[in-house]
């Protein structure tokens, strides 16, 4: 008797616990066992019933042939040549008849002579009274017995030849009817059912393997989601914790710069300016991280209202004008000439407009930034166009992904987190709008916000 090794037993135990912890696998195993078993049992029962029905039909056919031949045999019992010709013709026309014989009782004896037969060599031979002949003599319908020889089944049917007013017994009809063709059909059906069963088992095994694979993917996805959730919690916590010291640093820096008697030399003033600039950059990074955390955690409040976006856009442009002047760039706003009403969050619309203008100013060394508005069908368009470095078609495909930044020689010294455009896209999307970009390297970029108009 084979004994499991410690390693094999350990594998078996781990597999058992894995199946126990994952009900889907258990259901799949049960399905893998029950479906083939049910299929096999159903086919087994169908084949048995089919075989019984075929056997009965064949038996009835044999009895029917003898019934038809019975009256003719009674009338021609003394015309051996005619009977022999009839028997030979019946045998020739019916390939499933293995043998057909007509027996005539010898006078005063319990024996019978073969007077006609499909096997002519037996004609004239004597046949002793058998049990089947005795039973057929007493049974009006005749006797049918299922026999088997050389692996082939057949019906052996014996029926008494009677006739006349007194129902005189003059002999017997014996016939053997082959079941080879029905059996071949049955075996073919069984073989086909086994093939179908094998295919069913194979499909179930593939389904089970796929379920195991999907389960592993689901478990991996759950773990990734847990890690992602922990990451979001960490970003949120870290961002909140960083805001307090940042606010304090900025406050002390402003107080330090406002002191009249500080008397810093040029180098120290430059250091102080760099510290202030770095604190602003860090503040923007913390704000972006908080926005990402809110967006991914569905904690991004939106207050929708119907408003004319023109004053808001004009205000946003004016707020960014000082940055444009500092870089020596022209900042222009060309509004849509007719009044228009959009349904969105006013503060968020201002946020995305300021963000796009800020990006345009950041990546434009000379020339201008132009903000225009237009109406197209049921959409209000806000376009921020610049004459900056532009973006290649390959980079445009990834532009709105989180933490993605255009990387080339011209952007090497430009600071950024790669979160601004992703936040802008998500914000616009949640206001039921969309953002698109058109850009040519060395020529400039056009960012367009599409917001739904309020139908009047």
Please tell me the predicted confidence (pLDDT) of residue 255.
Answer: 77
CATH class of the domain at 301-452: alpha beta
Question: Residue 247: pLDDT band by 50, 70, 90 thresholds?
Answer: confident
Which of 12-21, 198-207, 308-317, 321-330 bottoms out in mean pLDDT, i.e. has the lowest? 12-21
Contact 102, 79 (CB under 8 A): no
Please tell me the predicted confidence (pLDDT) of residue 384.
Answer: 94
Domains of the chain by residue range: 28-178, 187-293, 301-452
> Which letter, b or e, does each residue of 408-444 get, where b requires 16 or more Cβ atoms within 10 Å of its Cβ?
eeeeeeeebbebbbbbbbbbbeebebebeeebeeeeb
pLDDT of 353 above 90: yes
Contacts of 429 (CB under 8 A, 6+ apart): none
Rounded-to-integer distance, Cα 397 and Cα 379, Å: 24
**Sign of torsion, CA 308 350 398 415?**
positive
pLDDT of 294 above 90: no
Rounded-to-integer distance, Cα 131 and Cα 314, Å: 118
Mean pLDDT of 275-301: 74
What whole-number percentage of the chain has pLDDT above 70?
A: 83
What is the arrangement of strands in the sheet containing 143-149, beginning at the earlier edge strand?
Answer: 126-128, 111-117, 97-105, 168-178, 152-163, 143-149
Please tell me the predicted confidence (pLDDT) of residue 175.
Answer: 83
Question: Which pTM does this prediction carry?
Answer: 0.49
Q: Which whole-number Å values give the CA distances from 448 to 128, 409, 438, 439, in the listed order?
A: 110, 26, 8, 11
Q: Which of 128, 158, 164 is nearest to 145 (CA)?
A: 158
Question: Residue 7: pLDDT band by 50, 70, 90 thresholds?
Answer: low
| Cα three-residue angle 48-49-53, rounded to 5 degrees | 120
Q: Which residue has the higher pLDDT, 194 or 333?
A: 333
Please tell me the predicted confidence (pLDDT) of residue 438.
Answer: 92
Please tell me the predicted confidence (pLDDT) of residue 306.
Answer: 92
Which of 19-28, 155-164, 202-211, 244-253 bottoms out in mean pLDDT, i.e. has the lowest? 19-28
Greatest mean pLDDT among 5-19, 36-50, 72-86, 411-425 lies in 72-86
The CATH architecture one would assign to domain 187-293 is: Orthogonal Bundle (1.10)
Please tell me the predicted confidence (pLDDT) of residue 128.
Answer: 80
pLDDT of 416 above 70: no
The CATH architecture one would assign to domain 28-178 is: 2-Layer Sandwich (3.30)
Mean pLDDT of 223-245: 72
Mean pLDDT of 289-315: 82
pLDDT of 1 above 50: no
Each residue's pLDDT tens digit, 62-82: 677 767 777 788 788 888 888
Rounded-to-integer distance, Cα 53 and Cα 120, Å: 33
């Amino acid at each position: 008797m084979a004994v499991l090794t410690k390693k094999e037993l350990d594998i078996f135990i781990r597999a058992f616990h894995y199946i126990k912890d994952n009900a889907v696998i258990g259901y799949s195993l049960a399905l893998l066992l029950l479906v083939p078993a049910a299929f096999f049992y159903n086919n087994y029962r169908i084949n048995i019933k089919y075989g019984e029905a075929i056997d009965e039909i064949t038996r009835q056919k044999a009895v029917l042939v003898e019934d038809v031949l019975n009256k003719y045999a009674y009338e021609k019992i003394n015309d051996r040549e005619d009977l022999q010709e009839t028997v030979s013709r019946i045998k020739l026309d019916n390939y499933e008849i293995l043998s057909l014989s007509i027996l005539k009782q010898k006078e005063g004896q319990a024996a019978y002579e073969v007077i006609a037969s499909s096997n002519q060599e037996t004609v004239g031979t004597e046949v002793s009274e058998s049990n089947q002949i005795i039973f057929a003599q007493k049974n009006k319908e005749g006797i049918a017995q299922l026999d088997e020889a050389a692996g082939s089944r057949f019906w052996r049917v014996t029926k008494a030849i009677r006739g006349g007013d007194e129902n005189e017994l003059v002999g017997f009809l014996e016939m053997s009817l082959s079941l080879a063709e029905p059996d071949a059909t049955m075996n073919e059906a069984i073989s086909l059912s086994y093939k179908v069963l094998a295919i069913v088992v194979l499909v179930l095994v593939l389904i089970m393997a796929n379920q195991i694979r999907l389960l592993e993917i689901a478990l991996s996805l759950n773990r990734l989601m847990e890690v992602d959730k922990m990451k979001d919690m960490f970003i949120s916590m870290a961002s909140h914790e960083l805001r307090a010291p940042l606010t304090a640093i900025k406050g002390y820096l402003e107080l330090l710069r406002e002191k009249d008697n500080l008397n810093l030399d040029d180098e120290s003033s430059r250091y102080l300016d760099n510290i202030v600039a770095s604190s602003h950059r860090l503040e923007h990074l913390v704000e972006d991280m908080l926005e990402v955390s809110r967006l991914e955690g569905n904690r991004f409040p939106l207050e929708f209202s119907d408003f004319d976006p023109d004053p808001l856009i004009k205000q946003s442009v004016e707020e960014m004008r000082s940055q444009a002047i500092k870089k020596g760039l022209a900042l222009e706003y060309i509004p849509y000439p007719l009044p228009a009403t959009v349904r969105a969050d006013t503060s968020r619309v201002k946020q995305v407009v300021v963000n796009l203008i800020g990006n345009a100013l950041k990546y434009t060394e000379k020339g201008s930034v132009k903000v225009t508005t237009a109406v197209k069908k049921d959409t209000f368009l806000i376009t921020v166009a610049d004459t900056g470095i532009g973006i290649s078609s390959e980079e445009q495909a990834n532009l709105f992904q989180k933490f993605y930044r255009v990387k080339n020689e011209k952007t090497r010294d430009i600071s950024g987190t790669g979160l601004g455009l992703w936040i802008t896209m998500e914000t616009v999307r949640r206001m039921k709008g969309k953002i698109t970009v058109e850009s040519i390297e060395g020529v400039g970029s056009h960012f367009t916000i599409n917001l739904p108009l309020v139908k009047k």
